[in-house]
Structure 1
Amino acid sequence: MSLSSCGLIVEYNPLHNGHLYHIKKAREETQADCLVAVMSGNFLQRGEPAILDKWKRAEIALLAGADLVIELPFASAVQSADYFAHGSIQILQALNVDFLCFGTDSKEKLDYATFGLTHKIYESQINQRYQEMKNNGMSYPQQMTTIYREIIPNWPLDFSSPNHILGMSYAKENAKYKQPMTLFPIKRQGSGYHDETVNKTEFSSATSIRKIMLEDTKRINEIKSSISPHTYHQLSTSRLASWDVAWPYLKYAILTLSYQELANIYQMTEGIEYRIKDCAKKAISFSQFVELVKTKRYTWTRIQRLATYILNHISLENIKKNKENPYIRVLGFNDMGRSYLRQEKKQCLYPIITKIDRKNEESASLDIKVGEVYNLITGSKDPQDYYRSPIYVKGERV
């Protein structure tokens, strides 16, 4: 009898009680044997270094109830919602996952599965309209809100909520497959995505938790009730990564790259490299740099992603090469996760990598590079990629 599975698309930056609730509800709602977490690596969707490295976050995920943790490669992880969803769903589909459970914080209820099928019908019209509007000075959320209200106006689409945008992107991508996963949206509990204040109840946002830890690690007891014991341990014993720590390296990269070299960085458009270099000369911190660069079209998140590409010297060719050679990188598993991996290994369309060495380093070359940059930021001497074996948590359930 084959094992059933439910996918979770996560970042765990860091894992908190809201994520524990998500894991619990995913298992309850789907009754899946195996929870497969596809997790961003050392740099995240909104363009920032993860507060803890991917190995620490993978171990926390397994100890929190995930059975199998797969890395979402950099080329898909540090992207806008649709590209992020494409890479994540591609991995879950390659592993024949049955269900997808994701969080949403929209005020409106949305039938995501039906929305995905509806979008499939109107996709060419939406894409055409976007090409007509993309240089009109509006931000991407404003453009998409306008487009969807024109073409499919009867849907409660909320482009102000990051989690809702991701949910719609998952639904759109999932609907493209012959055997789409069954979708289970879970209502977000407690604080909102961007909330910077710690909730006095058990649910606080990852943003508020990071804010406290990055301001003063001695304040960790203020968030103890909002996070798992394993998250608490890692946050209290690890050197934490942030843009404040990475700023000197980013500023060095910007100032030493020529305008032409900056122009070759992935997603560097419209001559923004001149503005970026000029602002880097003036800025004394990362937040000041972003404020100086920011415009109506270049949002904070878009600038953060650009900064991540600059810091890691990422070109369009790097991204294309990675996407043309998909693979599945295993970060960790328990006994159930290992059993599920064995079940799917023979029929999986992509190579499954459990250890990076000289034989397979070409496939993961981009993630190896960004892992080395991440270690430069944190000062860690532990390799992020070469010869690292998956984390094994003994037992089927923790």
Structure 2
Amino acid sequence: MKSCGVIVEYNPLHNGHLYHLQQAKERSQSDVIVAVMSGNFLQRGEPAIIDKWSRTALALSYGADVVIELPLAYAVQSADYFAKGGVKLLQALEVDGLCFGTDSPTPVDYDYFASFHQAHKHDIDALFNQLKNNGQSYPQQMTAVYRSLMPDWQLDFTSPNHILGMGYAKENITYPRPMMLYPIQRQQAGYHDDTIHPHFASATAIRQKVLDGEIAQIQTVVPKETFRMLQQQPLMSWDLLWPYVRYALTVTPVEQLQTIYQMTEGLEYRLKRAVRSAASFEELVNSVQTKRYTRTRIQRLLTYVLLYVTTQDIKHSWAHPSVRVLGFTEQGRAFLNQRKRTCPYPVITNVRKTDQASLALDIRAGEVYRQAAELAEPQDYFRRPLYSKET
């Protein structure tokens, strides 16, 4: 059974994602599409607008055959860690290919880039360490590093999907059996584009319209089922979570904040000071972010504060990998029955207390999300994978 993977967030699933799923199947000529999808909190440090089960249902309705949850310890991370987690799960299931979107205006040989990175890793690390404290953001530093070592390529690390593509390629090549890579060009809307085009729009633009109460404007850029869900499901945003964040920063002692993952260089003091006068999540982020500490970095950090994610929690999650199945079609079920015999990690379809070691962070995140969104059902315990008869 030939398979192709996609590593996604679907926040929410829109027409560009439909194109991605169609291209993944066509270009790879696969029987099964395996989606590794972030749970209730996402890569840029944001809560998903609708919960992971709703997004799983959409994925199964529009082309995915298997949906696997990307653990929070990889999902709410910079591009390299996000890529590492996604590729790790696809490799564990022996998926044959990986299809991903790219913002690069010209074709990029991602396999060559990965080979170059692997051969020159020492030089890349050394040059990065020289630039580490020059006041630039991480994307700017990495752009300078690669443009110095690969002047003919003019790589730009400020383009999110391009960065992820390179992250996938770098991680993929480290395995004995690398997956075939299928990069596809994004259609019309860029990652941060806030314009609603006739048929395509970025997830950022769609979320903004929905949260602003202008949902009618997105009807042409999302599938029918996505539009229906966004009208009927509880919608999540940082505004809803702001009271929880403010409370956590107010009552947690500095000594405990210092144990939070990526709480470095006195950021705990900056956050403590800023939260006293901030009237909203937006004000808090704006008062703390700098050129060095980007908005995304601060949002991720506040996600860790909200969920009380310590460095030890992250390391523990990395040390106890598992494959958490959120949903499958009939074809997907047959694929999983084949692969679970050889998968090096536990394949979890029904969360029990014994799964706490590998899923502790995701269970915690699900409970916080459920309470804030006032969802009736738990997000993890007593939830079995969704099954779609459509193939």
Question: Given the two structures, how large is their TM-score scaled by the length of structure 1?
Answer: 0.97
Given the alignment of the two structures, is residue 230 of structure 1 paired with residue 228 of structure 2, yes or no?
Answer: no
Q: Kindly provide the CA deviation profile for residues 145-184 of structure 1, in whole angstroms up to 9, marking residues without a partner as x.
A: 1111222222241212100000000010011111100000
CA distance in 1, matches of 2:319, 2:34: 23
Aligned residue runs from structure 1 range 38-187, under 5 A: 38-187=36-185
1:387 alignment partner, SS class? coil
CA distance in 1, matches of 2:106, 2:69: 31
CA distance in 1, matches of 2:117, 2:377: 45
Percent identity of equivalent pairs: 53
Task: Check conservation: 1:247, 1:285, Cα contact below 8 A.
Answer: yes
2:354 alignment partner, SS class? coil
2:249 alignment partner, SS class? helix
Q: Kindly provide the CA deviation profile for residues 64-123 of structure 1, in whole angstroms up to 9, marking residues without a partner as x.
A: 110000000000000000000001000000000001000011123210111111111011
CA distance in 2, matches of 1:206, 1:183: 24
Aligned residue runs from structure 1 range 235-246, under 5 A: 235-246=230-241
Residue 129 of structure 1: how far off its partner (Å): 2.2
AA aligned to 2:74 is S
Query: What corresponds to 1:278 in structure 2?
Result: 273
Given the alignment of the two structures, is residue 260 of structure 1 paired with residue 255 of structure 2, yes or no?
Answer: yes
AA aligned to 1:379 is E
Residue 250 of structure 1: how far off its partner (Å): 0.5
CA distance in 2, matches of 1:168, 1:124: 17
Query: What corresponds to 2:206 in structure 1?
Result: 209
Task: Check conservation: 2:289, 2:295, Cα contact below 8 A.
Answer: yes
Residue 234 of structure 1: how far off its partner (Å): 1.1
AA aligned to 1:119 is H
CA distance in 1, matches of 2:302, 2:195: 26
Given the alignment of the two structures, is residue 293 of structure 1 paired with residue 288 of structure 2, yes or no?
Answer: yes
| Counterpart pick for 1:340 among 321, 335, 338 | 335
Query: What corresponds to 1:359 in structure 2?
Result: 354
CA distance in 2, matches of 1:18, 1:275: 39
Q: How many residues align?
A: 391
Task: Check conservation: 1:356, 1:386, Cα contact below 8 A.
Answer: yes
2:168 alignment partner, SS class? helix
Residue 125 of structure 1: how far off its partner (Å): 1.6
CA distance in 1, matches of 2:313, 2:348: 20
Query: What corresponds to 2:9 in structure 1?
Result: 11
AA aligned to 1:5 is S
CA distance in 2, matches of 1:346, 1:65: 25
Task: Check conservation: 1:241, 1:378, Cα contact below 8 A.
Answer: yes
AA aligned to 1:72 is L
Residue 27 of structure 1: how far off its partner (Å): 0.8
Q: Kindly provide the CA deviation profile for residues 239-261 of structure 1, in whole angstroms up to 9, marking residues without a partner as x.
A: 11111111111011111111111
Report which stretch shifted further, 357-366 or 271-280: 357-366
Task: Check conservation: 2:320, 2:357, Cα contact below 8 A.
Answer: no
Given the alignment of the two structures, is residue 372 of structure 1 paired with residue 367 of structure 2, yes or no?
Answer: yes
Report which stretch shifted further, 125-134 or 280-289: 125-134
AA aligned to 1:85 is A
| Counterpart pick for 2:193 among 192, 195, 200 | 195
CA distance in 2, matches of 1:131, 1:265: 24
AA aligned to 1:46 is R
AA aligned to 1:359 is T
1:364 alignment partner, SS class? helix
Residue ranges of structure 1 left out of the alignment (5+ in a row): none
Task: Check conservation: 1:108, 1:156, Cα contact below 8 A.
Answer: no
Residue ranges of structure 2 left out of the alignment (5+ in a row): none
Residue 15 of structure 1: how far off its partner (Å): 0.3
Residue 128 of structure 1: how far off its partner (Å): 2.4
Residue 221 of structure 1: how far off its partner (Å): 1.7
Q: Kindly provide the CA deviation profile for residues 278-323 of structure 1, in whole angstroms up to 9, marking residues without a partner as x.
A: 1111111111111100111000000000010000000000000000
AA aligned to 2:200 is F
Task: Check conservation: 2:87, 2:168, Cα contact below 8 A.
Answer: yes
Task: Check conservation: 1:110, 1:156, Cα contact below 8 A.
Answer: no
1:368 alignment partner, SS class? helix
CA distance in 1, matches of 2:42, 2:301: 12
RMSD between aligned residues: 1.0
CA distance in 1, matches of 2:133, 2:373: 38
Query: What corresponds to 2:35 in structure 1?
Result: 37
AA aligned to 2:63 is G
CA distance in 2, matches of 1:8, 1:319: 24
Q: Kindly provide the CA deviation profile for residues 128-147 of structure 1, in whole angstroms up to 9, marking residues without a partner as x.
A: 22233222211001110111
